[in-house]
Structure 1
Amino acid sequence: MVLRIGIIHNQEEKSIRVLQRLRGLLAMKDDLEIVDRDPQLVITIGGDGTLLSAFHRYSHRLNEVRFLGVHTGHLGFYTDWRDYELPELVNSLSDEQGTSVSYPLLDIVVTSANGQHQHFLALNESTIRKGSRTMVADVYIKEELFERFRGDGLSISTPTGSTAYNKSVGGAVVHPSINAMQLAEIASLNNRVFRTLGSPSIIGSHEWIDVQLKSSGEHLITIDQLDINSKEVVSIKYKIADERIHFASYRHMHFWHRVKDAFIRED
Structure 2
Amino acid sequence: METRRNIFFSYKKDPAKLPDIEQLMTIAKEQGFEIVTNQDAANIIVAVGGDGAFLQAVRKSGFRDDCLYVGVTDEEEASLYCDFHIYDTESMIAAMQTANVEVRRYPVIDVHLDGHTHFHCLNELSVRSSIIKTFVIDVIIDDLHFETFRGDGIVVSTPTGSTAYNRSLNGAVVDPLIPCIQVSEMASLNNNQFRTLGSSFILSDSRKLTLHIVQDGNEYPVIGLDNEALSVQNTKNIEVEMSGKIIKTVKLKNNSFWHKVQRTFL
Q: TM-score, normalised by structure 2?
A: 0.90
Aligned residue type for 1:245? I
- CA 1:49 to 1:261, structure 2 compared with 1: closer, same or farther past 3 Å? same
Secondary structure at the counterpart of residue 161 of structure 2: helix
Secondary structure at the counterpart of residue 227 of structure 1: strand
1: distance between equivalents of 2:88 and 2:100?
A: 20
* Contact map agreement 1:126 1:223 (CA 8 A) in 2: yes
Residue 10 of structure 1 pairs with residue 12 of structure 2: yes
Corresponding position of 2:116: 117
Counterpart pick for 1:232 among 231, 234, 237: 234
Deviation per residue, 1:150-175 (Å, 9 max, x gap): 11110000010011111111111111
2: distance between equivalents of 1:252 and 1:110?
A: 40
Deviation per residue, 1:87-125 (Å, 9 max, x gap): 3313422446995221111110011xxxx6111100100
TM-aligned CA deviation for residue 192 of structure 1: 2.6
TM-aligned CA deviation for residue 220 of structure 1: 1.0
TM-aligned CA deviation for residue 15 of structure 1: 3.6
Aligned residue type for 2:22? Q
* Contact map agreement 2:84 2:91 (CA 8 A) in 1: no
Which has the larger displacement, 218-227 or 181-190?
Answer: 218-227
TM-aligned CA deviation for residue 17 of structure 1: 3.0
Corresponding position of 1:193: 193
Corresponding position of 1:261: 263
Aligned residue type for 2:45? V
Residue 202 of structure 1 pairs with residue 205 of structure 2: no
Give unmatched runs, 5+ long, in structure 2.
none
Give unmatched runs, 5+ long, in structure 1.
none
Please tell me the root mean square deviation across aligned C-alpha atoms, in Å.
Answer: 1.9
1: distance between equivalents of 2:141 and 2:7?
A: 41
Which has the larger displacement, 15-24 or 44-53?
Answer: 15-24
* Contact map agreement 2:102 2:253 (CA 8 A) in 1: no
1: distance between equivalents of 2:234 and 2:151?
A: 20
Residue 57 of structure 1 pairs with residue 56 of structure 2: no
Aligned residue type for 1:233? T
Secondary structure at the counterpart of residue 188 of structure 1: coil
Aligned residue type for 1:101? R
* Contact map agreement 1:162 1:182 (CA 8 A) in 2: yes
Corresponding position of 1:72: 74
TM-aligned CA deviation for residue 66 of structure 1: 0.7
* Contact map agreement 2:100 2:253 (CA 8 A) in 1: no
Report matched runs for 1:132-147 at 5 Å: 132-147=132-147
Q: Tell me the percent identity.
A: 30
2: distance between equivalents of 1:241 and 1:109?
A: 11
Corresponding position of 1:90: 93
Aligned residue type for 1:258? K
2: distance between equivalents of 1:97 and 1:261?
A: 20
2: distance between equivalents of 1:94 and 1:2?
A: 13
Which has the larger displacement, 12-21 or 181-190?
Answer: 12-21
Secondary structure at the counterpart of residue 187 of structure 2: strand
2: distance between equivalents of 1:13 and 1:253?
A: 31
